[in-house]
């Protein structure tokens, strides 16, 4: 009733998964392990599908390699010294550090990910995008900590096409809605490529026609909360350039408040505030 087995080698081999374990397995009131694992999944998406596990962008998941130590009860495993890497046509990613599967889980390590086929990756995740030359590539790296439901990323470096950002970020899934946090230095930020070509052209002055009566679709403001601080030395929007701009924005319960305490444009010093309240029915 309290059997302890020492495995010199315990291996599972197949077309989709090769996994080996060296260490002990305890068969007491709870199954416990204390040893090391070394595994390779040649087609992770297909493996998860056959296991009945649904994950986003399943078709993008290819070769996954995992090495590390594992200990504890089977329903609360601790994995330490992990070295995880994924390589594939659409995304490459790594994680090095520790993971606990007890409770809400715990993460403490460093990660990186990059893709030169971002549009194809988003399509694999069922995200439809309008045709365009933007959103072609991304790369990110940082230090992860927290639980599976509340993750913080320190020393964050993020690249999206030609845009770059450094700072910290996080996501909190413990509340009614996901909450995003971030404190990012964006450097020289040129958003012109993300504008439609017609938005970048100078247009002839049109006669005043009053405010549009078309309702605004602000439902997206109710989907997440956010607390973001962004800084940029130069912000370019088509033929408009703002310098030394900073934005402090909060989004709570459908209420967006954005504060631009200072920016330079058109030869002068400016400041502004924007408020959008989508918490009600209209």
CA–CA separation, 136 and 119 (whole Å):
6
- 205 CA to centre of own chain: 42
**pLDDT tens digit sequence for 94-150:** 999 999 999 999 999 999 999 999 999 999 988 887 788 888 999 999 999 999 999
> Residue 177: is its pLDDT beyond 60?
yes
Confidence category of residue 196, pLDDT binned at 50, 70, 90: low
- Comparing 63-77, 89-103, 175-189, 191-205, the range with the smallest average pLDDT is 191-205
Mean pLDDT, residues 28-37 taken together: 94
Q: Would you state the structure tokens that stand for residue 216, as one six-digit string?
A: 């605004």
Confidence category of residue 200, pLDDT binned at 50, 70, 90: very low
CA–CA separation, 111 and 84 (whole Å):
9
Helix (H) or strand (E) holding 9: strand 3-13
Q: What is the DSSP letter of 51?
A: T
Q: Which range, 106-115, 157-166, 200-209, 262-271, is most confident?
A: 106-115
Backbone angles phi, psi at 154, to 5 degrees: -100, 165
**Contacts by residues 41-45 (CB-CB < 8 Å, ≥ 24 positions apart):** 41/16, 41/17, 41/65, 42/15, 42/16, 42/17, 43/16, 44/86
- Count CB neighbours of 196 within 10 A: 10
Instruction: Tell me which residue of 112, 42, 126 sits closest to 84, measured CA to CA.
Output: 112
Mean pLDDT, residues 185-202 taken together: 72
Q: Is pTM, for the whole model, over 0.75?
A: yes
Distances (CA, A) of 210 to 151, 152, 213, 263, 276: 46, 45, 9, 28, 20
Residue 272, Cβ density class (10 Å: 0-12 exposed, 13-18 middle, ≥19 buried): exposed
Q: Would you state the structure tokens that stand for residue 258, as one six-digit string?
A: 């954005």
Average pLDDT, the chain: 90
Mean pLDDT, residues 146-161 taken together: 95
Q: Would you state the structure tokens that stand for residue 25, as one six-digit string?
A: 């397995």
Residue 147, Cβ density class (10 Å: 0-12 exposed, 13-18 middle, ≥19 buried): middle
Q: What is the DSSP letter of 26?
A: E
């Amino acid at each position: 009733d309290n059997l302890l087995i020492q495995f010199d080698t315990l291996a599972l081999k197949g077309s989709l998964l090769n996994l080996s374990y060296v260490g002990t397995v305890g068969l007491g009131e709870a199954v416990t392990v204390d040893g090391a694992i070394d595994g390779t999944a040649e087609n992770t998406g297909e493996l998860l599908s056959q296991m009945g596990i649904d994950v986003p962008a399943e078709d993008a998941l290819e070769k996954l390699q995992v090495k590390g130590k594992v200990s504890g009860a089977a329903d609360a495993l601790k994995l330490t010294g992990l070295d995880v890497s994924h390589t594939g046509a659409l995304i490459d990613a790594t994680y090095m550090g520790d993971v606990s599967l007890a409770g809400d889980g715990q993460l403490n390590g460093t990660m990186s990910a990059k893709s030169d086929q971002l549009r194809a990756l988003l399509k694999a995740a069922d995200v439809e995008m309008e045709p365009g030359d933007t959103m072609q590539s991304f790369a990110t790296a940082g230090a992860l900590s927290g639980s599976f439901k509340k993750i913080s990323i320190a020393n964050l470096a993020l690249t999206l096409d030609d845009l770059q950002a450094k700072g910290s970020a996080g996501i909190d899934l413990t509340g009614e809605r996901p909450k995003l946090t971030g404190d990012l230095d964006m450097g020289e930020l040129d958003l012109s490529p993300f504008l439609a070509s017609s938005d970048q052209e100078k247009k002839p002055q049109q006669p005043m026609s009053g405010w549009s009566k078309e309702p605004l679709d602000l439902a997206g403001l109710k989907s997440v909360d956010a607390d973001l601080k962004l800084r940029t030395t130069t912000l370019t929007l088509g033929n408009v350039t703002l310098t030394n701009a900073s934005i402090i924005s909060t989004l709570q319960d459908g209420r967006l408040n954005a504060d631009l305490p200072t920016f330079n444009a058109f030869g002068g010093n400016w400041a502004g505030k924007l408020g959008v309240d989508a918490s009600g029915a209209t």
